[in-house]
């Protein structure tokens, strides 16, 4: 008998929502041998999915060795068609609570009883999403970092510990790295950290401290590079020398507090937005979104390959 929420090799996966996140998830599932039934309500977007998914499937193959034959894609005509017979449901519809609640109600009616519904929500919290469900224990929040087929992180929360652990095992089988929230929080973990950092990046633009491209370069060639190897807490532990984090806090804690006090509280007013738009245009240097995405994805693949080669 399976644990609630467990998924076996070859099980069919339902993906609800075929935007950037849903298509990326589908590519990951298919690359690891799962058949995917994907429902996207917009007909034009649905027709574009088969072509859009080919590149990401190939990128997964660049990163992972020993993959099985790719699973098949079924473009479902309805949500009910997608979830019928599914062993896992990954929901990726827009961040609107009423819409998501309506989706969950439809899923509970049509999907096999007890199958986990994993929401890719980037900011909403479990208690708000699950409020109208007949069996809220089957919902978990499982937020990936974009693009999910390349970024290993999955941030997880749910009230059923056994279900969450079974979900984590499933994600690990796809080469993902689950992390767990002890309690729900708006934005989960990584988006809260990203939002805090970007707030100060925006503040530095608004205050005229530095230009957009210089701020991005400082992050990429400084903290960002270090953070690909160690996290924020560990970085400060190592910054304390032989005494570690205890030495850092006792000797440099006051200077850290002074920096916190000097951080800004910017507003995304018209003037600040114009500076950000102009700054990005200068940094992009005429390259379109597709080109920039390709450069990002190639970099993500290269970095992860390098890190794997160095790990014991």
pLDDT of residue 10: 76
Q: What is the mean pLDDT of residues 248-260?
A: 93
Share of the chain above pLDDT 70, in %: 97
Confidence (pLDDT) at 50:
95
Give the least confident one: 6-20, 73-87, 211-225: 6-20
Which token pair is 246?
Answer: 């205890």
pLDDT at 308: 83
Q: Is residue 147 reached through a cis peptide bond, with omega within 30 degrees of 0 on the bond before it?
A: yes
Q: Specify the pLDDT at position 309.
A: 79
Answer yes or no: is pLDDT of 54 > 50.
yes
Please state the rounded mean pLDDT for residues 57-71.
94
Tell me phi and psi for residue 145, to 5 degrees.
-95, 140
Average pLDDT over residues 208-229: 96
The DSSP line for 125-187 is -HHHHSTT-SSGGGEEEEEEPSSTTT--EEEEE-S-HHHHHHHHHHHHHTT-EEEE-SS--TT
* Cβ atoms of residues 15 and 39 within 8 Å: yes
- Mean pLDDT computed over every residue of the chain: 94
Mean pLDDT throughout 149-166? 97
Kindly tell me if the per-residue pLDDT of 127 is higher than 60.
yes
Distance from chain centroid for Cα 51: 22
pLDDT score of 157: 98
Count of Cβ atoms closer than 10 Å to residue 305 Cβ: 12
- Taking only the tens place, the pLDDT of each residue in 284-296 is 999 999 999 999 9
Residue 301 has pLDDT above 80, yes or no: yes
- Phi and psi, residue 69, nearest 5°: -60, 140
Determine what percent of the chain is predicted with pLDDT higher than 90: 93
Q: Is the pLDDT of residue 55 over 90?
A: yes
Distance (Å, whole) CA 117 – CA 133: 11
Cβ distance 144 to 175 under 8 Å?
Answer: no
Instruction: Give the model's confidence band at 3: pLDDT under 50 very low, under 70 low, under 90 confident, else very high.
Output: low
Tokens of 209: 């401290």
Please tell me the predicted confidence (pLDDT) of residue 4.
63
CB 49 within 8 A of CB 40: yes
Question: How many Å apart are CA 16 and CA 235, to the nearest integer?
Answer: 38
Q: Which two tokens mark 261?
A: 């006090």
pLDDT band with cut points at 50, 70 and 90 for residue 5: low
Is 233 within 8 Å of 244 (Cβ atoms)?
no
Q: What is the pLDDT of residue 1?
A: 43
């Amino acid at each position: 008998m399976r644990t609630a929420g467990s998924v076996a090799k070859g099980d069919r996966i339902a993906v609800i929502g075929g935007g950037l996140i849903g298509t990326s998830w589908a590519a990951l599932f298919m690359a690891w041998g799962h058949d995917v039934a994907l429902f996207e309500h917009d007909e034009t977007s649905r027709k574009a999915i088969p072509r859009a998914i080919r590149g990401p499937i190939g990128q997964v193959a660049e990163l992972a060795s020993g993959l099985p034959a790719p699973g098949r894609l079924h473009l479902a005509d309805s949500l009910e068609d997608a979830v019928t017979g599914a062993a896992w449901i990954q929901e990726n519809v827009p961040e609107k609570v009423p819409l998501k609640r309506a989706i969950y109600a439809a899923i509970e009616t049509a999907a096999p009883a007890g199958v986990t519904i994993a929401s890719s929500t980037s900011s909403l919290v479990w208690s708000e999403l699950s409020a109208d469900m007949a069996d809220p224990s089957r919902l978990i929040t499982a937020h990936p970092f974009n693009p999910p087929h390349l970024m290993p992180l999955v941030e997880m929360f749910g009230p059923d510990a056994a279900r969450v652990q079974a979900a984590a095992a499933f994600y690990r089988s796809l080469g993902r790295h689950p992390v767990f929230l002890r309690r729900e929080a708006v934005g989960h973990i990584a988006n809260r950290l990203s939002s805090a950092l970007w707030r100060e990046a925006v503040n530095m633009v608004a205050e005229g401290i530095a230009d957009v491209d210089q701020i991005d370069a400082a992050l990429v060639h400084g903290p960002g590079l270090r953070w690909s190897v160690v996290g924020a807490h560990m970085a400060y532990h190592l910054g304390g020398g032989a005494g570690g984090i205890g030495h850092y806090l006792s000797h440099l804690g006051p200077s850290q507090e002074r920096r916190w006090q000097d951080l800004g509280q910017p507003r995304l007013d018209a003037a600040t937005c114009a500076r950000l738009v102009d700054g990005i245009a200068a940094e992009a240097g005429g390259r379109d979104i597709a080109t920039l995405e390709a450069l990002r994805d190639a970099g993500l693949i290269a970095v992860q390959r390098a890190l794997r080669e160095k790990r014991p």
